Amino acid sequence: MWQQLTDHTGFVRLLDTAVDRVTVTDDPDTVLRGIVDGAVAGIPAVDHASVTVWDPAGRIVRAAASDDDAARLRAAQADLDEGPGIDARTGGVTVVVHDLAADGRWTAFGPLAREHGVRSVVAVPLRCGWHTGALTLWSRAVAAFDEPGQVLGELFGRYASIAVDSAEIRGDLRRAIERRDVIGQAKGILMVDRGVGPDEAFRILARRSQQENTKVADIARRLVAERLGAPTGPRGDA
């Protein structure tokens, strides 16, 4: 098996390229799109790929598909609440299907998938922070995924979990820095306009936040926008 794995040098190069591409973004949706496109391009026998992420309450929060067929298959699993991706996510283990025509686990989804020409599937569970998900790889060939192919799918799924989680963290950090920066700017404006110190300037922002039931950062953003003469939105919010 390991000799077979080392033969997939193209996949290794593609995974390395994908890591470089998605680690520069803090947008999880961009990461997911790169994951499904990379899976189709880099994993042998994969004709379509889809990924779905659920929050702890079971709501779908993110999804991506490599093409229209993959999007329909992904949506069908979610609507029917059955399929290899659903089982991978709920069971936390990789689900392998060698031939959907001979597999009776999904009485509603199986025939629908075959109508789309899909015969083999590998579904890999994802864990992205508090969220769970599944990366599902679809093939039109019977028994398309041998053991090395399954390992490659699991490797890509593990990378997907890390990449999505990292993008979420980077996005949270960026937004926190932006909020802190705009609050600092607003405090500076109040210090100049009212001749107060930084602590009193923040208390002014906090009081206004309570009065308007609006986040301090939004109050600060609006104040800065007003000073710069920028539009503040239809309701006066920044």
Looking at residue 237, its pLDDT comes to 40
Residue 160 contacts residue 19 (beta carbons within 8 Å):
no
Which domains can be identified in the chain, with CATH numbers?
Answer: 2-170 (3.30.450.40), 173-228 (1.10.10.10)
Each residue's pLDDT tens digit, 70-129? 999 999 999 999 999 999 999 999 999 999 989 999 999 999 999 999 999 999 999 888
Is 26's pLDDT higher than 70? no
Q: Which of 150, 220, 212 is nearest to 178 (CA)?
A: 220
Residue carrying structure tokens 């629908």: 112
pTM for the complete prediction? 0.69
Q: Which helix (H) or strand (E) holds 138?
A: strand 131-139
Q: What is the pLDDT of residue 174?
A: 67
Q: What is the mean pLDDT of the chain?
A: 83
**Parallel/antiparallel/unpaired status of strands 60-65 and 120-128:** unpaired
Q: What's the pLDDT score for residue 182?
A: 83
Q: Select the more confidently predicted residue: 8 or 175.
A: 175
> Residue 22 has what pLDDT?
53
pLDDT for the residue 236 = 37
CA angle 76, 156, 147 (to 5 degrees): 90
Helix segments in the chain, DSSP class H: 2-6, 9-22, 28-42, 68-80, 84-91, 109-115, 147-194, 198-212, 216-228
d(CA 125, CA 48): 17
Question: Tokens for 227?
Answer: 């000073």
Q: Is the pLDDT of residue 232 over 90?
A: no
Q: How many CB atoms lie within 10 A of CB 14?
A: 18
Q: How far apart are CA 181 and CA 191, in angstroms?
A: 15
**Percent of the chain topping pLDDT 90:** 38
Q: What is the mean pLDDT of residues 178-185?
A: 80
pLDDT tens digits along 50-69: 999 999 999 999 999 999 99
